Structure 1
Amino acid sequence: MAHLPPLREVIARHGLAARHSLGQHFLLDANLTDRIVRHAGDLAGRHVIEVGPGPGGLTRSLLASAAASITAIELDRRAIGALCELAAATGPRLRVIEGDAMAIEAASLVASPRQVIANLPYNIASPLLIRWLRRAASFERLTLMFQQEVAERICAAVGTAAYGRLSVLTQWTCEARIVMRLPSEAFTPPPKVASAVVSLTPRPTQPDPGRFAAMESLTAAAFGQRRKMLRGSLRALGGEALLARAGIAPERRAETLSLAEFDRLVGLTAGQR
């Protein structure tokens, strides 16, 4: 990869100044992008999907790995030229798709085993994660960078202030852990907050689409008004009667419920759908 031009030169040549509207903050340090790729494990034979590659910093590290292929999804037309240049210089392992990742079924793009490794655009990171969690069984692993606050919510323990809907949906379907933290100064331009990389390994048993949809509705209601007792926040789903069937005291609040208790509740609500 030493023959490639410096990323700052690529950014200047393609007019790739980061756009706030696209949630762009570029990571240009190859030492850091290489570390992110190493956290994804052995990529030999794996087909990797990257979202929001921008000028291609992380893409270069992925190309330097043993991954069988890299499919880069990019919305910003300015970056497409830079990525196509990278593909031309490095061979057929890199495929560039221009489009909105929120409108693309990522798992349909490549064969299994597949992984997602990405420095996600901040403005779509959480909804994109939930979209992938609905089909978590399709992926071997997801190694994703978020704003640190979002990463901490994803991995939060029950009973903590950060524990919420994103914690439950993620940890219900995946083993989740923060594997790397990065200061804002690591990015160009520096965001106002630090970032963190989360490793997500889907659990062997996954909910069917109906059960996942029921958990989405349940957690939206339960955490919609955090100060409310569950008897109130879950009134539309059955309130005290539902909680009694699940053996959960109606005075409790959502942040005190374990994954097992949410799973018990969703089993009852899914049966009503």
Structure 2
Amino acid sequence: MAAIDGLPPLRAVIAAHDLVAKKQLGQNFLLDLNLTARIARAAGDLSGCDVLEVGPGPGGLTRGLLAEGARRVLAVEKDARCLPALAEIAAAYPGRLEVMQGDALALDVAAHLVPPIKIVANLPYNVGTELLIRWLTPAHWPPFWDSLTLMFQKEVAERIVAKPGPKAYGRLALLSQWRADPKIVLTLPPEAFTPAPKVHSAVVHFRRLDAPRFAADEAVLGRVTAMAFNQRRKMLRSSLKALAPDIEVRLRAAGIEPTARAEEISLEGFCALAREVAAT
């Protein structure tokens, strides 16, 4: 990759700019440009697309995205120390990289992007789940993005793709699978990063659905699943009794046994129950 863009190896970039990863910013730098290129390729064909990257750090993934043909990359970086390194990448790819300094949670990035848009990021662990939830719950659906290709702690990635049954299955799986088709496309060991985290990591690719997988009111579905999983050891007739006085009737109407527990119910079942509750 260094030979493609003529830029120095990432270790040299980090040394030159004194970019010691900061724990409070959730920074773990991925230095292997072969791996960053694999992540970029996992996002699919980038030609003709604007790409949003959050937390580029010294720019390893940024370089991968540009080398893989992204039309334009908007990189949002909170850490001002990284800006000179990113400016060097921008100079190597004239007109194709824009860097915004700030908190991705506070910026209106969509106003700076032109469709089709893909989001590809090695997300800081401390904000990864919050950003995902925001991208999956916009005011209007479909959202501004076509796909997400995101790095998480492996445990979080497994929660995103979980099916009914195991402990990992919960509200994050339901939200992710209701509006997208998420798949784990790459796993990475701790030693791939500097500094090495205490956990494995995984990249999840989300293909956006044009409409939710099953019909349901978002607010009602959220209320039903929150109540069910907040007391996941209880039978649904107990955990959901505050939803409606005849909750057992509504559960049966949705095809769910009142004695079932939250982790046993599929996304389709929860959506059916949300429709029954909304009918009150």
Mark yes or no: TM-score above 0.5.
Answer: yes
Q: Can you list the C-alpha shifts for 1:52-86, whole angstroms capped at 9, x where unaligned?
A: 11110000001101211100111112112321232
Q: Which moved more, 1:148-157 or 1:75-84?
A: 75-84
Tell me, yes or no, if the aligned pair for 1:47 and 1:69 is still in contact at 8 Å: yes
d(CA) in 2 for partners of 1:155 and 1:203? Answer: 15
Task: For residue 113 of structure 2, give the secondary structure of its aligned residue in structure 1.
Answer: coil
TM-score (normalizing by structure 2): 0.90
Q: Can you list the C-alpha shifts for 1:131-183, whole angstroms capped at 9, x where unaligned?
A: 10114622211111111111111011111221111110001111111111111
Pick from 100, 103, 108 the counterpart of residue 100 of structure 1. Answer: 103
d(CA) in 2 for partners of 1:111 and 1:271? Answer: 39
TM-score (normalizing by structure 1): 0.92
Task: Write the letter of the residue equivalent to 1:71.
Answer: L
d(CA) in 1 for partners of 2:51 and 2:278? Answer: 33
Structure with greater helix percent: 1
Tell me, yes or no, if the aligned pair for 2:5 and 2:67 is still in contact at 8 Å: no
Match of 1:229 in 2: 235
Pick from 115, 119, 124 the counterpart of residue 116 of structure 1. Answer: 119
d(CA) in 2 for partners of 1:2 and 1:69? Answer: 16
Map 1:123-162 to 2 at 5 A.
123-135=126-138, 137-138=142-143, 139-162=145-168
Query: Does residue 257 of structure 2 align to residue 254 of structure 1?
Result: no
Task: Write the letter of the residue equivalent to 2:142.
Answer: A
Q: Which moved more, 1:163-172 or 1:105-114?
A: 105-114
Match of 1:172 in 2: 178
d(CA) in 2 for partners of 1:262 and 1:185? Answer: 40
d(CA) in 1 for partners of 2:166 and 2:37? Answer: 32
Q: Can you list the C-alpha shifts for 1:213-253, whole angstroms capped at 9, x where unaligned?
A: 33333222211122111122223322435424423222111
d(CA) in 1 for partners of 2:260 and 2:135? Answer: 30
- The unaligned stretches of length 5 or more in structure 2 are none
Pick from 182, 197, 201 the counterpart of residue 203 of structure 2. Answer: 197
Shift of 1:109: 2.9
Task: Write the letter of the residue equivalent to 1:116.
Answer: I
d(CA) in 1 for partners of 2:83 and 2:154? Answer: 28
d(CA) in 2 for partners of 1:217 and 1:83? Answer: 42
Identity of aligned residues (%): 53
Pick from 58, 63, 66 the counterpart of residue 66 of structure 2. Answer: 63
Runs of 4+ residues deviating >6 angstroms? none
Provide closer, same or farther for how the CA distance between residues 269 and 15 of structure 1 changes in structure 2, counting only shifts above 3 A. Answer: farther
Q: How many residues align?
A: 271
d(CA) in 1 for partners of 2:78 and 2:107? Answer: 11
Tell me, yes or no, if the aligned pair for 1:169 and 1:215 is still in contact at 8 Å: no
Task: For residue 137 of structure 1, give the secondary structure of its aligned residue in structure 2.
Answer: coil
d(CA) in 1 for partners of 2:133 and 2:63? Answer: 27
d(CA) in 1 for partners of 2:157 and 2:196? Answer: 18
d(CA) in 2 for partners of 1:242 and 1:75? Answer: 48
Task: For residue 118 of structure 1, give the secondary structure of its aligned residue in structure 2.
Answer: strand
Task: For residue 127 of structure 2, give the secondary structure of its aligned residue in structure 1.
Answer: helix
Match of 2:169 in 1: 163
- The unaligned stretches of length 5 or more in structure 1 are none
Provide closer, same or farther for how the CA distance between residues 215 and 75 of structure 1 changes in structure 2, counting only shifts above 3 A. Answer: farther
d(CA) in 2 for partners of 1:271 and 1:112? Answer: 37
Pick from 28, 35, 38 the counterpart of residue 31 of structure 2. Answer: 28
CA RMSD, aligned part only? 2.0
Shift of 1:10: 2.0
Provide closer, same or farther for how the CA distance between residues 249 and 143 of structure 1 changes in structure 2, counting only shifts above 3 A. Answer: same
d(CA) in 1 for partners of 2:222 and 2:166? Answer: 20
Provide closer, same or farther for how the CA distance between residues 154 and 14 of structure 1 changes in structure 2, counting only shifts above 3 A. Answer: same
Provide closer, same or farther for how the CA distance between residues 201 and 14 of structure 1 changes in structure 2, counting only shifts above 3 A. Answer: same
Match of 2:45 in 1: 42
Map 1:71-110 to 2 at 5 A.
71-110=74-113
